[in-house]
Amino acid sequence: MLISLQNAFVRRYDTVILSELDFQILPREQWAIVGENGSGKTTLLEVLAGKWPVWRGKLTHSYGEVLLSKVAELVPSDYSFNRIVASAAQYYQQRFHSFEAEIAPTVRDVLTNQLKPVGTVDEHSVQLPESTVSEEDLLKTARLLSIEHLLDRPFVTLSNGETRRMMLTRSLLKKPKLLLLDNPFAGLDVHSRDVLREALKQLKHEGILVILVTSSIEIPESVTNVLELKEGKIVGVTSGSSSPEFTPQTNLSTNLTAEHRPLQDDKAAQAVHQDFELAVNLRNINVAYGSKKVLINVDWKIKKGEKWALVGPNGSGKSTLLSILTADNPQRFANDYDLFDVKRGGASMWDVKSKIGHVSPELHLYFPQETTVFKAIASGFFDATGVYFRKLTEEQIQRTHVVAEWLNVNSFIEKPFKNISKGQQRLVLLARALVKNPPLLILDEPCQGLDFAAVEHFKEVVDIICDTPERMLIYVSHYAHEIPSCVTQTLRLEEGKVI
């Protein structure tokens, strides 16, 4: 036995999140934790990482007298692990700004903890201790996760998938005995998912205990045991064989059509008519950071009413292309394009943003954690990340509650954003994108971290919301099954080019 929980209860602040947990983890096993959003999966990982104590019951392990936190490594999901890294990426548009990219630490700096304060002018003015990471270990681990070609890139220029692989590499370089992964496949393209599966096999061979939270439809072959949570309790466990045949106990095939029939007639879901022929008209778009060309001669027209999928591997330029449309990329001024039939520069950044509802992995990564769910949704009216001192109208207040109901987040609308699960946070940000009823929805990997039922629920909401010639959609996903049925056209990028 490596780890054992016996009738364990876990409380976060004043709320019991997990209860009556009984299971044992044995040597040479690899565990997957599955369950619906808000079932306590991430909290269980944090308990195993030594970040939350068992309130009642017992947790024991066989790693000697050391604390579990000394042998476990929970792969971070944001940049809070280091104040310099967090400072270099202090707002989500940062990765698109070339000047900040030039002064930000490289991937190598982050992985070897050779981090000088952002803005250091004289490189010799800061003396850093020698890195504890050898070049041999760095290259070996970087190759395992297929990021060796990224080592000398500023980390803020990485794609979402590349960032996730960097985080995992950083954790592996600490040589933990227990590695904990929270939705590690989220944001990864097909090739990167294959790389991760092979890495998990290798880690199992090396004797590193891996426990990961994942979806029930993406359990890697190396996993030997699957634990399913529902409402903080274990409702199913399978064990004893590699690549288990796992059938979730929760209902993942709920027919939501009847539930959403009222939404089809809801005037709040109907787009407001606006006069334009082309929502997007990009002409020969080019973006580069130094010698690195991110977008090369991209042309794209989106007519009124069209619904598009934007696809391509990690690092192909998808998020950078979207940053031109959302006015987050300063290199938009050097390019030629129209948005809503208005030439670039003919409308303010805020005029452009007012017509776009946007969600992205970057927005989730940097979103303020202290705000309430209500304020997080309502901030979509102002294209900001908080309501602050703005006064909402009665109509805006009502709209916020209506959209919260669409996405089933109304039951915790007064909770702090930080106190809900990652999947629930994602649904809140989706509600934020819908709240102002924009003519163009840009949904960049919107289903990351959502369980199967929540994905199906969200797709149906999108299909109903977009069932009008007044609404345009750009939808990014690495999974074909996540793309709503309303999408009829596809733009594919590879190495910055349309193919």
Question: What residue segments make up the domains of the chain, in order of their start?
Answer: 3-117+133-238, 257-498
Strand partners, 493: 498
pLDDT band at 253 (very low <50, low <70, confident <90, very high): very low
Range in 98-102, 149-153, 180-184, 225-229 the model is least confident about: 98-102
Q: Average pLDDT, stretch 260-275?
A: 63
In CATH terms, the superfamily for domain 257-498 is P-loop containing nucleotide triphosphate hydrolases (3.40.50.300)
Per the prediction, the chain carries an average pLDDT of: 87
Q: Average pLDDT, stretch 328-356?
A: 88
Encoding tokens for residue 453? 């039922």
pLDDT at 68 over 50: yes
Q: Average pLDDT, stretch 19-34?
A: 95
pLDDT at 120 over 60: yes
Measure the CA–CA gap between 402 and 397, rounded to whole angstroms. Answer: 9
Range in 73-82, 321-330, 467-476 the model is least confident about: 73-82
| Domain at 3-117+133-238: CATH code | 3.40.50.300
Q: Average pLDDT, stretch 419-433?
A: 88
Distance of CA 66 to CAs 48, 62, 72, 344, Å? 14, 9, 11, 60
Q: What pLDDT shows up at residue 261?
A: 44
pLDDT at 91 over 80: no
In tens, the pLDDT along 370-402 reads 899 999 999 999 887 766 557 899 999 999 999
Q: Average pLDDT, stretch 466-483?
A: 93
Report how far Cα 181 is from the mean position of its chain's Cα atoms: 13
Strand partners, 229: 35, 234
Greater pLDDT, 371 or 244: 371
> Crossing angle, helix 135-144 and helix 160-172, to 10 degrees?
130
pLDDT at 308 over 70: yes
3-117+133-238 and 257-498, same CATH topology? yes
Encoding tokens for residue 77? 């999901």
pLDDT at 243 over 70: no
Range in 301-305, 326-330, 463-467 the model is least confident about: 326-330
Q: What pLDDT shows up at residue 81?
A: 81
Q: What pLDDT shows up at residue 242?
A: 44
Q: Average pLDDT, stretch 276-303?
A: 93
DSSP alpha helices (H): ranges in 97-256?
98-103, 107-112, 135-144, 160-172, 190-205
Q: What pLDDT shows up at residue 252?
A: 42
Q: Average pLDDT, stretch 41-50?
A: 94
Measure the CA–CA gap between 138 and 173, rounded to whole angstroms. Answer: 7
Greater pLDDT, 437 or 422: 437
Going by C-alpha positions, the residue among 362, 355, 277, 349 that lies closest to residue 318 is 362
Q: What pLDDT shows up at residue 260?
A: 46
Going by C-alpha positions, the residue among 321, 383, 396, 377 that lies closest to residue 354 is 383
Edge to edge, the sheet with strand 3-12 lists: 15-25, 3-12, 56-61
pLDDT at 254 over 50: no
